[in-house]
């Protein structure tokens, strides 16, 4: 079974994000970029399936500028077999991403697609669900654990009330949550091997997908700074304070 794993190049989670002075977007100049953490978990899970003999090939896909090939190389060093870069310098919205991935799935015919539940830059949490809908495949989102059987996958999901287990027939789409696994660090020998693994380059036009934006960002601003706390003498004064502030 072939497993397809989409990965996204995002600002590293340790970096403090800065907003441009004109509030038109986020400042990316000289900022460290890395693989989206949820996508790292997806890569790790796909590689583990291959190590268990349940997957034969792990294909890594990324959509973005030429530098996104570095993100693909990182995934290949973790254990991926080959990569596909859909090259574009334009911001791609979730629906367009799902359409691009559908075109790749149609060409590659994987038995399973594993992706992170969301990217930490836009926090959209949409691509996995949209892809499953476009393909007409079953889906298991926010995966906490995974068990593959003959032609099916048992996925335990993280939900507000605890855990929920669903069983879906393959092919299917799964999105990963934080507690599914702990991604491995790529060893130096594997990093060197990854440099020789193939990465095929395509464009959205090659896949017949229009990535023109459907919405316009009017302004991006930093959250307001938190003000200092206020000490109160007791519960009555606390209630009066909350009422005065319109909290209750």
Helix segments in 28-108, DSSP class H: 37-51, 68-78, 94-108
Question: What are the backbone dihedrals phi and psi of residue 174, each rounded to the nearest 5 degrees, phi first?
Answer: -130, 140
b/e burial code for range 70-89 (CB count within 10 A of at least 16 → b): ebbbbbbbbbbbebbbbbbe
Q: What is the pLDDT of residues 62-99, one digit of tens each?
A: 999 999 999 999 999 999 999 999 999 998 999 999 99
In the sheet with 162-169, reading across from the earlier edge strand, the strands are 162-169, 152-159, 139-149, 172-176, 112-116, 2-7, 57-64, 82-87, 199-202
Name the pLDDT band for 227 (thresholds 50, 70, 90): confident
Q: Which of 42, 107, 43 is nearest to 77 (CA)?
A: 43
Domains of the chain, with CATH numbers?
2-244 (3.40.50.620)
pTM attached to this predicted model: 0.87
**Mean of per-residue pLDDT scores for the chain:** 94
Check whether 245 has a pLDDT greater than 90.
no
Cβ neighbours around 1 below 10 Å, total:
15
Q: What are 119's two structure tokens?
A: 């990217």
In the predicted model, is pLDDT for residue 248 greater than 90? no
Query: Residue 29 has what pLDDT?
Result: 84
Torsion of CA 23, 28, 34, 35, to 10 degrees: 50
User: What pLDDT, in 10s, does the model give residues 13-52?
Assistant: 998 888 888 888 888 888 999 999 999 999 999 999 999 9
Average confidence (pLDDT) over 100-116: 97
Helix, strand or coil for residue 9? strand
Strand segments, DSSP code E, in 70-217 are 82-87, 112-116, 139-149, 152-159, 162-169, 172-176, 199-202
Residues 138-166 pLDDT 10s: 999 999 999 998 899 999 999 998 999 99
| Mean pLDDT within 179-186 | 94
């Amino acid at each position: 079974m072939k497993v397809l794993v989409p990965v996204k190049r995002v600002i590293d989670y340790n970096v403090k994000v800065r907003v441009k002075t004109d509030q038109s977007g986020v400042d990316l100049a000289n900022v460290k970029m890395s693989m989206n953490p949820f996508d790292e978990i997806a890569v790790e899970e796909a590689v583990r399936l291959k190590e268990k003999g349940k997957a034969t090939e792990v294909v890594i896909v990324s959509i973005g500028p030429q530098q996104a090939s570095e993100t693909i190389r990182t995934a290949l060093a973790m254990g991926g077999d080959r990569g596909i870069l859909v090259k574009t310098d334009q911001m791609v919205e979730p629906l367009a991403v799902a359409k691009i991935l559908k075109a790749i799935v149609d060409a590659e015919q994987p038995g399973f697609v594993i992706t992170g539940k969301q990217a930490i830059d836009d926090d959209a949490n949409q691509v996995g669900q949209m892809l499953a809908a476009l393909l007409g495949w079953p889906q298991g989102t926010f995966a906490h654990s995974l068990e593959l059987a003959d032609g099916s996958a048992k996925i335990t999901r993280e939900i507000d009330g605890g855990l929920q287990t669903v069983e879906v027939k393959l092919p299917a789409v799964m999105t990963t949550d934080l507690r599914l696994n702990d991604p491995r660090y790529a060893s130096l020998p594997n990093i060197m091997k990854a440099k020789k693994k193939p990465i095929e380059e395509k464009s959205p036009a090659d896949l017949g997908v229009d990535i023109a934006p459907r919405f316009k960002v009017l302004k991006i601003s930093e959250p307001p700074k938190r003000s200092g706390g206020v000490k109160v003498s007791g519960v009555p004064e606390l209630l009066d304070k909350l009422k005065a502030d319109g909290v209750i």
